[in-house]
């Protein structure tokens, strides 16, 4: 396990306006120079990041426009993802855009690409190792119909570019990120607030590996340290497998809100993953899921805590 010391380094974070990347970039900027890259359709978001110490530059991966990225980058964290549901646009931005990005930063010491456990084929309660198999996990959700396949295509581009540009790379397949800045459990909390039923798969319970944003930040140095030219691929999630039913019921206990589930085939199946490689390379997560969920509620709806 080799975690890099990032103090004083220059780190590029792409997709910096996203749920996961925003708190990560802000946290890293306390000890490193962080360049946050995105399209910045929201100027207020850019102002927020710059006020927190992140230097922002505008890029457009769909167009292959990465000229604003400075030349002296030490490490790259690619959290950019296009989810327009237009197949051509999303494949161009994700699988094509990462090639432009990796060519631009080919001189960096290490590159981490944030992928997703959505690349795995729906197989009930199968526990997936990094070898696969691949499948259209999120295709059942019409609003994310391009997501899984774009992630698979982008991983292929990343592996090719790592060898082509001799760029040490880690592909980290993220499970369910959550924290003060949101996430799937936060969406469930909002659904409980408005009385909506929570979809869970008929092959219940619906189990994943939620990981708190603090653990995501803490694991970045280790993921960078694990990078290799023959890209290292690793599942990335919280140590404990937890079901949607379990975390929603706990959110109900914390808030006094009632929770109703709707069993359906029109939602994603469980995605349980083998975390042996993550633990060997990076270590285990530190934030227990109940503590993390309580902190999430306290940050987003403190008035609800019982």
CATH 3.30.565.10 corresponds to the domain 10-181+210-240+273-287: no
Per residue in 15-74, pLDDT tens?
999 999 999 999 999 999 999 999 998 889 999 999 999 999 999 999 999 999 999 999
Please compute Rg for the chain using Cα positions: 19
Flag whether the pTM goes above 0.85. Answer: yes
Answer yes or no: is pLDDT of 1 > 70: no
Answer yes or no: is pLDDT of 2 > 70: yes
CA-to-CA distance for 41 and 44, rounded, in angstroms? 9
Closest to 10 measured CA to CA, from 113, 108, 114, 112 = 108
Looking at residue 165, what is its pLDDT? 98
Q: What is the mean pLDDT of residues 146-172?
A: 98
Cis peptide before 8 (omega within 30 of 0): no
């Amino acid at each position: 396990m080799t975690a890099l010391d990032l103090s004083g380094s220059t780190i590029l974070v792409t997709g910096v306006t996203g749920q996961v990347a925003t708190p990560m970039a802000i946290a890293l900027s306390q000890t490193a120079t962080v360049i946050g890259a995105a399209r910045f359709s929201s100027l207020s978001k850019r102002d927020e990041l710059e006020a927190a110490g992140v230097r922002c530059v505008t890029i457009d991966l769909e167009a292959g426009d990465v000229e604003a990225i400075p030349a002296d980058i030490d490490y790259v964290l690619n959290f950019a993802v296009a989810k327009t549901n237009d197949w051509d646009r999303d494949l161009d931005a994700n699988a094509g855009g990462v090639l432009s990005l990796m060519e631009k930063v080919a001189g960096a010491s290490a590159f981490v690409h944030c992928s997703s456990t959505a690349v795995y084929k729906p197989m009930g309660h199968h526990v997936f190792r990094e070898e696969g198999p691949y499948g259209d996990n999120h295709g059942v959700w019409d609003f994310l119909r391009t997501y899984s396949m774009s992630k698979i295509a982008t991983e292929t581009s990343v592996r090719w570019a790592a060898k082509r540009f001799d760029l040490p790379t880690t592909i980290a397949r993220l499970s369910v990120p959550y924290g003060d800045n949101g996430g799937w459990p936060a969406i469930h909390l909002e659904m409980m607030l408005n009385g909506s039923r929570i979809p869970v798969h008929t092959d219940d319970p619906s189990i994943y590996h939620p990981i708190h944003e603090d653990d995501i930040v803490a694991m970045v140095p280790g993921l960078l340290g694990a990078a290799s030219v023959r890209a290292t691929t690793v599942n990335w999630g919280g140590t404990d497998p937890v079901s949607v039913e379990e975390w929603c019921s706990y959110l109900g206990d914390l808030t006094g809100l009632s929770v109703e589930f709707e069993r359906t085939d029109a939602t994603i199946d469980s995605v349980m993953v083998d975390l042996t490689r993550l633990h060997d390379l990076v270590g285990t997560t530190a934030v227990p899921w109940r503590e993390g969920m309580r902190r999430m509620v306290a940050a987003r709806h403190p008035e609800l805590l019982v």
